[in-house]
Amino acid sequence: MLCVLIGMPGSGKSTVGRQLARRLGLPFLDTDQVLETRLGCSIREFFEAQGESAFRDREEQTLAECLAQERGVVSTGGGIVLRPGNRQRLQQAPCVIYLRASPEDIYRRLRHDTSRPLLQVADPLRKLKELYADRDPLYRESSRFVVETGRPTVAALVNMISMQLDLALPDRLGARTGETPKL
């Protein structure tokens, strides 16, 4: 089983992904970590030196390679859905979960994080609201399931996702409906 987590920066993709992979006995891949290893520098440094377009090119290639894995839990970068090719690849993946968090919840989690290039602005909450407005429809288009992260603990989210995967995936892998179910 290959399960991909998408969502806004700070929605919990890496944290939940690590725990979910452990629970399911699957390898864990984080596209941002894979990229940093390949780039030899932080995403922020690459972003500043080469620009967003060059970063998105490398991110697209990394996603394609991660999706070629047969088993695992893959955590993606928040902007992975910006490229149409990435959305198409995600739509073809057997399990894509959108970890949905409000801009306010994300801001509360990230307000002191200086490692995220898109949030290094005068008003990060406003930036998160703009990003959310632009990306929420793209996340929904690219996912099979939506999980509201709100305020549950990581353990509670992993439990909920794991139980729902056990129930939903055998019936949903073969057919894609036009509606994105909520977990």
Does 9 fall in a domain? yes
CA–CA separation, 26 and 158 (whole Å): 14
Return the closest-CA partner of residue 76 out of 132, 137, 34: 34
pLDDT per residue rounded down to tens, the chain (183 residues): 899 999 998 899 999 999 999 999 999 999 999 999 999 998 888 988 999 899 999 999 999 999 999 899 999 999 999 999 999 999 999 899 999 999 999 998 888 877 776 677 889 899 999 999 999 999 999 999 999 998 789 999 999 898 878 877 654 333 334 444 444
Residue ranges of the binding site for ATP: 10-15, 116
> Cα dihedral sign for 2, 6, 15, 152?
negative
What is the signed CA dihedral for 157, 163, 166, 167, rounded to 10 degrees?
-110
Does 146 fall in a domain? yes
Q: DSSP H helical segments within the chain, as ranges?
A: 13-24, 31-39, 43-50, 52-67, 84-92, 103-110, 124-142, 154-172
Does 52 fall in a domain? yes
Q: How many structural domains is the chain composed of?
A: 1
Residue ranges of the binding site: 10-15, 32, 56, 78, 116, 135
Does 115 fall in a domain? yes
Does 182 fall in a domain? no
Does 181 fall in a domain? no
Tell me the whole-structure pTM to 2 decimals.
Answer: 0.88
Residue 56 backbone dihedrals phi, psi, to 5 degrees: -65, -35
Helix, strand or coil, per DSSP, at residue 161: helix
Residue ranges of the binding site for Mg(2+): 14
- The residue range of the domain holding 116 is 2-172
Does 166 fall in a domain? yes
Residue ranges of the binding site for substrate: 32, 56, 78, 135
Does 167 fall in a domain? yes
For position 156, which CATH number holds?
A: 3.40.50.300
